[in-house]
Amino acid sequence: MARLNVSRMIERIEYLATISATAENGVTRFSFTDQSERANDIVQQWMEEAGMKVHRDGVNNLIGRYEGTDPYSPVLMIGSHIDSVKEGGKYDGVLGVIAGIEVVTQLFEREIRPNRSIEVVAFCDEEGARFHTSLIGSRAMAGQLTDEDLQTADEQGITLSDAMRQVGLDPANYASAKRDPKTVHSYLELHIEQGPILQEENQPCGVVMGIAGALRYNFCILGMAGHAGTVPMSLRKDALTGTAEMMMAIEQIANQYPPLVATVGRLNVQPGVGNVIPGTVVGTLDIRDTDEQRKLQVASEMLSACEQICRQRGLESRFELVTQSPAVRCSPRLVALIENALIKRNIKPLKLQSGAGHDAMAIAGVCDVGMIFVRCKDGVSHHPDEYASPSDIETATEILFDVVLNECIQTSEVN
């Protein structure tokens, strides 16, 4: 069998990396922006060059369909996302979409028609970097997006609803993105590991067993602003010092339950000038664990600790749960297919847990899901230094190709 065109894949990854809101510091490509629309346009072109018919659904998920011989057979979906975090890397999400297109391109160039149709999906907002609610595209496809999500606002106060209008979508139409589970057979996602295990084990790729569930809270701590020179320490209601004490408690609790992780990633201090005691702090708390039960218990322990600290300091605290994604298991059938493909190519079939969320989490509500992880340099992701080697990308895409053949081609047709 001919090799994949890995140079074409790398060129496309590099090209998408240039579509960023900032010229430096990695890739910043939020959803429903000029950048996301430009990325959609070029990915649509690549899909069409691979013989796919392309449409965008009610939330701007970009869907390319490579028609199979049986139009009534549930489809095989290959997907990932093309949005990024602020100042992120080139590979997170993008790799999975480019790999899906490459697999279909191989079929198209070799004039292979699958039994079931293949759809490659570029989901619209997996990261949640703009609206602080994640998996927007894949949750819409799974019928899990809500009217409330549409009212979530970005830091400029633009709601998801408004942002959708700005790129010509009718937000009232978001439910049309929901996909009937009967029409989808399975979902495959190839993604960088975003962790250090494959590098430690010196393997190019591995199979994902499950994805950690995440809880994400927005919190607001209200104290009393005041002059930094005249309010004695004993009379202060400093919202930022209170938040600092909360963060120490959160870290201490998280340290007790590995591999659970907890992160305060965003913090906005008001009024935020050097000679004023902070009166208000707004932030996010993200908690992840592969053990669903423990995740909920630890979250409750953390929130209690925070509330007690605020009470002792005369601060008011509000925690709002904005994302709650339960831990997800990958389909044993797809895990076995991926393992077999790894073994066939003499790769140790490493079984990995994903600490990061992925579109596969939401799509697990539609159909069986399977994931392939690609080695990621030093485990670094969501950072400009994120890197996966062309050779690892090629190997992992070959594994994906093997699984796709198994899922929708009569093997005898392929030579």
Binding positions for a second copy, 81-110, rule CB under 8 A: 85-88
Binding to a second copy (CB under 8 A) within 332-371 occurs at: 354-357
- As a whole number of angstroms, the distance between CA 145 and CA 326 comes to 15
Least gap, CB of 247 to a second copy (angstroms): 4
Contact between 166 and a second copy by CB under 8 A: the answer reads: no
Phi then psi for residue 289, to 5 deg, are -160, 145
* Region from 181-189, 237-245, 292-300, 338-346 binding a second copy, contact rule CB under 8 A: 237-245
Q: In the structure encoding, which two tokens stand for residue 259, read together?
A: 């591999």
Binding to a second copy (CB under 8 A) within 286-315 occurs at: 286, 288
* Region from 36-44, 60-68, 168-176, 241-249 binding a second copy, contact rule CB under 8 A: 241-249
- Residue 402, CB half-sphere, CA atoms under 13 Å: how many? 20
Cβ contact 282:271 at 8 Å = no
Tally of helices (H runs) and strands (E runs) in the chain:
12, 16
Contact between 233 and a second copy by CB under 8 A: the answer reads: yes
Peptide bond into 196 cis (omega under 30): no
Contact between 279 and a second copy by CB under 8 A: the answer reads: yes
Contact between 128 and a second copy by CB under 8 A: the answer reads: yes
* Region from 10-18, 103-111, 127-135, 388-396 binding a second copy, contact rule CB under 8 A: 127-135
Q: In the structure encoding, which two tokens stand for residue 254, read together?
A: 């998280």
> Which has the closest alpha carbon to 57: 162, 181, 176?
176
Helix H or strand E segment including 66:
strand 62-66
Interface with a second copy (CB under 8 A), residue from 382, 388, 394, 403: 382
Interface with a second copy (CB under 8 A), residue from 243, 317, 331, 395: 243
Interface with a second copy (CB under 8 A), residue from 193, 394, 398, 402: 193
- As a whole number of angstroms, the distance between CA 321 and CA 174 comes to 22
Kindly determine how many residues on this chain lie close enough to bind a second copy according to the rule CB under 8 A: 73
Interface with a second copy (CB under 8 A), residue from 383, 387, 389, 406: 383
Pairing of strands 184-192, 368-374: parallel
Least gap, CB of 86 to a second copy (angstroms): 4
Site string for a second copy, 212-231 (x = CB under 8 A): x-x-x-------xxxxxxxx
Binding to a second copy (CB under 8 A) within 46-85 occurs at: 85
Cβ contact 221:270 at 8 Å = no
Please name the residue that has the structure tokens 């072109």.
45
